[in-house]
Structure 1
């Protein structure tokens, strides 16, 4: 049975996620930007927290954890190589390891670039991947600690997941990302349509996360660095996709 996944808005534009296994009652939290909305979401459903999955060390993904654990003791899970910068870990995992939530195994994916030690959690039965600030809706995270080739490699790993995977990213940045994406591919009909849908969703107060990976393939410029149409649009026909990605990321940094 797939996990029941709830999107929890936090802070001004963050998202946390609760992934619940109805059979066992296990519930995993993915990231903890702040405590109150997450505790409210747990209380409203009568769920008990069993695991806290941390994607990376930035404050807006971990600051609420201590308060949450005081009310919901849970096993804290994160990347072993970044353990020194994370809250104390009960389970330290590496790329390719698995974490079991209820009856489903999730795979840990090292997606370093935004930070070194950033991980994503892929749950194939639930067709879900929690990507935080690596792959984002219509975008990707800024490359703070890693390198451009490292980030491109991480995005390529995520891009290779099945197209029907839902991407649960860490922020409501989609509208701003769309405003940039259209400068890269102004004639992409899928992108034009998506921007309109995003505008309508945000006007109605609806989240644009999660997003379908196949839609990211069609519209997200950071996943499309190997597409000839995009390369032509930015004057980089036939270039190495990693170099095209780096150019797009530089443009976004200055947008």
Structure 2
């Protein structure tokens, strides 16, 4: 299945390029046409990112890194060396992210091209994982914490920690557009149908996802409202899911944990 080399979305304030990298990663480029500043969210692959920047005559000023895994950081050294870009990422993973120039926490005051960025600490996938939320622009970059129709594997945290992290993202305004770190939606959709087949909104969405992937199109961005209506990892309160798992009366995080356990085996 082929994927177009990039997708550009025009906005009132930013130009956004959704850039496929490696097998299924995404980098997102943000360009502010007023200031001329450009940022990248994660750096999976320097050559692909440089080619996209060069094609638009953009210069990379900032790298925002969500976590330390190599498929999100492998391009940092080359991009920083070529453009002199600053590298911002989780303070808790500073020793594991080469080239980091600024470590951030939820208390950090951060901005890009005059637009405020709210840092959310979203551990679970890794212990220091952060999510970048641009409240004035209705954008959130969730890395490997929350995916379209799914969530990340829990490598360093525990299920209750990960549930708290995805819940933090789910509490953002419903029309917030979500950009995640991987194109996993089709596989996530098949799992979702197995655990909440009766969800009409999910059925409709799965049809849209299948059509998009058949056409070689990306399935993100998604939105908070759409995920809350269809993503089983944000729906542990669903009576259908609880009944299927035999977890009536269990706390939400335990339902979430069981779903993650089942997805790991899928």
Contact kept, 8 Å, 1:130 with 1:167, in 2: the verdict is yes
Structure 1 partner of 2:246: 235
Structure 2 partner of 1:165: 176
2:66 matches 1:72: no
Alpha-carbon distance between aligned partners in 1 of 2:129 and 2:77, rounded to the nearest angstrom: 20
Partner SS state of residue 8, structure 1 = strand
Using the TM superposition, give the Cα deviation of residue 221 of structure 1 relative to its aligned residue in structure 2, in angstroms.
0.4
Contact kept, 8 Å, 1:121 with 1:131, in 2: the verdict is yes
Alpha-carbon distance between aligned partners in 1 of 2:130 and 2:14, rounded to the nearest angstrom: 20
Using the TM superposition, give the Cα deviation of residue 241 of structure 1 relative to its aligned residue in structure 2, in angstroms.
0.2
Using the TM superposition, give the Cα deviation of residue 47 of structure 1 relative to its aligned residue in structure 2, in angstroms.
1.2
Structure 2 partner of 1:99: 110
Contact kept, 8 Å, 1:21 with 1:103, in 2: the verdict is no
Alpha-carbon distance between aligned partners in 2 of 1:221 and 1:143, rounded to the nearest angstrom: 16
Pairwise CA RMSD of aligned residues? 1.1
Alpha-carbon distance between aligned partners in 2 of 1:95 and 1:225, rounded to the nearest angstrom: 26
Structure 2 unpaired stretches of 5+:
1-11
Contact kept, 8 Å, 2:29 with 2:41, in 1: the verdict is yes
Q: TM-score, normalised by structure 2?
A: 0.93
2:73 matches 1:54: no
Structure 2 partner of 1:201: 212
2:155 matches 1:140: no
2:141 matches 1:125: no
Using the TM superposition, give the Cα deviation of residue 20 of structure 1 relative to its aligned residue in structure 2, in angstroms.
1.3
Contact kept, 8 Å, 1:56 with 1:119, in 2: the verdict is yes
Structure 1 unpaired stretches of 5+:
none
Relative to 1, partners in 2 of residues 1:22 and 1:184: Cα closer, same or farther, differing over 3 Å?
Answer: same
Partner SS state of residue 125, structure 1 = helix
Contact kept, 8 Å, 2:79 with 2:85, in 1: the verdict is no
2:140 matches 1:110: no
Give the total of aligned pairs.
255
Contact kept, 8 Å, 2:80 with 2:87, in 1: the verdict is no
Between stretches 91-100 and 56-65, larger displacement belongs to: 91-100
